[in-house]
Amino acid sequence: MNNQITFKYLWTLLLNKKKHLIIGQIITIIAILISIPIPLMLPALVDEVLLNKPDFFVNNINTLIGKGSAFYYIAIVTICVIFLRFIHFLFSAIITKLFTSIAKYITFKIREKLLNHLKNVCMNEYETLGSGAIAANLITDVNTLDNFIITGASKFIASILTLIAVSFVLIAIHPILGLMILIIQPIIMILSKKIAKSVGTLKKEENSAIEKFQNNLGEVLELFGQIKASNKERYFFTQSIKRAKQVKDTSNEFNYKSIAYERFSFTIFLAAFEILRAAGLLMVAYSDLSIGMMFAMFGYIWFIMTPVQDILSMQYSYAQAKAALERINKILELKMETSGNTLLSKQNDFSIELRNLFFSYNSEKETLKNISLKIQPKDKIALIGASGSGKTTLAQIIASFYTKNSGELLYNNIKIEELNKESIRDNIFLVLQMPILFNNTLRFNITMGNDKIDDLEIYKALEIAQLKENIDKMPKGLDTIVGKHGIRLSGGQRQRLSIARMIIANPKVVIFDESTSALDVPTETKLFDALKPILENKTVITIAHRLSTVKNAKKIYVLEEGELVQTGTHEELEKVEGHYTKFVKNQLI
Ligand SMILES: Nc1ncnc2c1ncn2[C@@H]1O[C@H](COP(=O)(O)OP(=O)(O)OP(=O)(O)O)[C@@H](O)[C@H]1O
């Protein structure tokens, strides 16, 4: 799929920052050139000053500054080394700044692409992944890519260049010892990497055990009262103890083995270092390698550790990035909602018609089967049925949240496929039983962030929704923060807030999905009395379990296991023995 994020796509984004990239690479080369001679400079003085064999450094100091004592030469070279180290640091900081900005640009572009796709994804598709997985993709997986880009764009090339430059220096000083270092050192590091990998597996096992323990503990503590009430302490706490034991076992395994492996790997490195040191001494004894250059070569053994490590970790970082890309692309694979060009005007009333409509959330079960109905403008209809019969689903299909599987859905005799989805949702308001609120002010939740709506209008809506009194009592009034999901409001307050939101939105069609179930009967009656003039000119679809709420509807539809089984007025339906009469009898009981 060409919409996917591939390594090629990352490369294209990288090339958008070509200027930064080129400057970064040039500064990297300069920084490498500055750092390469550092391990060589002071050891060279062993030969030139201590063993009295003046060469490059002493000769140049003599010509440029003048002759002096051993202290004088050592001091000058030390100052130069320290100076070079600071300059190298300065360049490294610039490089980090440049490459970080490139990586952040790319990760921002990826997040932007994902969010732009997500905003147009179908609800049915969205639910296949769920908010948790999507959030993890957008945060953790994109961070993994960020890490890969920084490693790849800056460290990888720099490490290869450093290794090439050091190889030249080592082979120029002493080819045999140089080659030995260049071969043995990476082998040791590969070995340590392998050891680290097995420690990584143990760490994963420990993390998984901790996660299971944490989830179990969280649930047990949250449901402590429930567990006590059902006398199930022994069962639940035995489970928690079992999980705690798994944490003990895996942590124990990881802790001692990780320390042992770490020390083992360092010991192997030191052993190799000793072998190279011995080889160095032998080269001094049996070849033309000077003592000073031998020390310099030891310095380079430490020097190449970082670039070798960076190159080796590139493989790991690449594998991680590949896995992260696969997960990220799952978001981009979610099908987008299609939207037509025809607008459903807010000025004109419209009918809603369903013809042989089928819908399912998943392949296991059909939730709505062969639904056909027509709702005329300003109709007042009711939808009843047992719990799980598909009422909310039907309401959400009408409000165009979900996409039907087959059949037809028409607004004003225009097929949904031809209509602009935004214009449908602008005209249809679904008042839910459990409205989800933003953790923001009451004002924000009522206006949905539309600051053109003034407080006067909000208060009017609140008065109709029977919520004004409650809000007047709150010290911060409309500026009260409602908490996550509206936790600081009661269920009934949340429902009335959603009704106030509907009044402000002023749609053509209102669907009440058990939207007043948390209200007491007097408040509900007052609310619907106040709403009467507002609803008069609107199409109203009411989903309710109370007979009193549905009785006066112009038409009542009865749903049973996703099928429309009865249609008619209260009086008509009452006459035939069937689902509706059962519903009425249940109410009377
Ligand atoms: N998001 C979803 N994903 C998968 N299945 C769902 C989803 N929402 C509802 N269902 C299933 O679809 C069926 C119909 O659910 P729906 O909520 O439409 O019923 P309902 O008649 O409104 O029930 P209630 O009166 O209890 O609100 C149920 O079997 C339910 O489990």
* ipTM of model: 0.96
Q: DSSP for 419-435?
A: B-HHHHHHHEEEE-SS-
Verify whether ligand 1 is closer than 6 Å to residue 390 (CB atom).
Answer: yes
Q: Kindly tell me if the per-residue pLDDT of 265 is higher than 60.
A: yes
CA of 364 to the centre of ligand 1 (A): 14
pLDDT at 1 over 60: no
> What integer is the mean pLDDT of 181-194?
87
Q: Is the CB of 124 under 6 A from ligand 1?
A: no
Measured distance between the N- and C-terminal CA atoms of the chain, rounded to whole angstroms: 58
In angstroms, the CA 402 to CA 335 distance is: 12
- What integer pLDDT is reported at residue 589 of this predicted model? 60
Does the Cβ of 367 fall within 6 Å of ligand 1? Answer: yes
Supply the pLDDT for residue 2: 62
Candidates 123, 125, 128, 361: which one to mutate for ligand 1, based on the most atoms within 8 Å of Cβ? 361
Q: How far does the centroid of ligand 1 lie from the alpha carbon of residue 393, in Å?
A: 6
> What pLDDT is stored for residue 43 in this prediction?
92
406 pocket-lining for ligand 1 (C-beta < 6 Å): no
CB-ligand 1 contact for 391 (6 Å cutoff): yes
Distance CA 455, CA 167 (A): 74
> For all residues of the chain together, what is the average pLDDT?
89
Which residue's CA is the nearest one to ligand 1's atom 18? 390
- Dihedral of the alpha carbons of 123, 124, 125, 127, in degrees to the nearest 10: 80
- List all residues 6 or more positions away from 202 whose beta carbon is below 8 Å from its beta carbon: 250, 253, 254, 257, 258
Closest ligand 1 atom to Cα of 559:
21
Residue closest by Cα to atom 31 of ligand 1? 388
Percent of the chain, pLDDT > 90? Answer: 51
Residue 128 CA to ligand 1 center (angstroms) comes to: 15
Q: pLDDT tens digits for 522-560?
A: 888 888 889 999 999 999 999 987 777 788 889 999 999
pLDDT at 95 over 80: yes
Contact 378, 431 (CB under 8 A): no
Interatomic CA distance for residues 435 and 146, integer angstroms: 37
Q: Cα(43)–Cα(301) distance, rounded to whole angstroms?
A: 14
387 lines ligand 1 (CB under 6 A): yes
Six token digits for residue 576:
């035939």
**Measuring from atom 14 of ligand 1, which residue has the nearest CA?**
390
Q: Please indicate whether residue 388, judged by its CB atom, sits closer than 6 Å to ligand 1.
A: yes
pLDDT in tens, 272-324: 999 999 999 999 999 999 999 999 999 998 898 888 888 878 877 888 889 88
The class that CATH gives domain 352-588 is alpha beta
Instruction: Please state the domain extents for the chain.
Output: 1-174+307-337, 175-288, 352-588
Two tokens, residue 480 = 């009260």
Phi then psi for 568, rounded to 5 degrees?
160, -175
Among 243-247, 441-445, 471-475, 504-508, which stretch is predicted with the lowest mean pLDDT?
471-475
The confidence band for 588, taking pLDDT boundaries of 50, 70 and 90, is low
Q: Which tokens in the block code for residue 30?
A: 């300069």
How many CB atoms neighbour CB 142 within 10 A?
20
Give nearest CA residue, ligand 1 atom 4: 361
Sheet containing 352-359: order of strands: 368-375, 352-359, 406-411, 414-415
pLDDT of residue 128: 83
Ligand 1 neighbour 130 (Cβ under 6 A): no
Structure tokens at 402: 């979900």
20-74: pLDDT as tens digits: 999 999 999 999 999 999 999 999 999 999 999 999 999 999 999 999 899 999 9
- In short, whether 427's Cβ falls inside 6 Å of ligand 1 is no
| Structure token pair of residue 396 | 């959400």
Taking the C-alpha atoms of residue 427 and residue 398, their distance in angstroms, rounded to an integer, is 11
Q: Is the pTM of this model over 0.90?
A: no
Nearest Cα neighbor of 479 from 436, 445, 453, 452 is 445
The pLDDT value given to residue 550: 81
The verdict on the CB of residue 125 being under 6 Å from ligand 1 is no
- Please report the atom of ligand 1 found closest to the CA of residue 361: 4
The Cβ of residue 426 has, within 10 Å, a number of other Cβ atoms equal to 17
pLDDT band at 81 (very low <50, low <70, confident <90, very high): very high
Summarize the confidence of residues 490-513 as an average pLDDT.
91
473 CA → ligand 1 middle, Å: 37
Query: Ligand 1: distance of its center to the CA of 361 in Å?
Result: 9
CATH of 1-174+307-337, one of 1.10.15.40, 1.20.1560.10, 1.10.3710.10, 3.40.920.10: 1.20.1560.10
Element (H, E) at 567: strand 563-568
Whether the Cβ atoms of residue 494 and residue 437 lie closer than 8 Å to each other: yes
Counting from 1 in the atom list of ligand 1, the atom nearest the Cα of 389 is 21
pLDDT band with cut points at 50, 70 and 90 for residue 249: very high
How far, in Å, is the centroid of ligand 1 from the Cα of 498?
Answer: 21
The Å distance, Cα 389 to ligand 1 centre, comes to: 7
**Residue identifier of the C-alpha nearest atom 25 of ligand 1:** 387
pLDDT (average), residues 572-578:
86
CB atoms closer than 10 angstroms to residue 510 = 24
The pick from 389, 397, 550, 560 for probing ligand 1's pocket by mutation, whose C-beta has the most ligand atoms within 8 angstroms, reads 389
- Tokens coding 142: 């994109």
Cα of 125 vs centre of ligand 1, distance in Å, is: 16
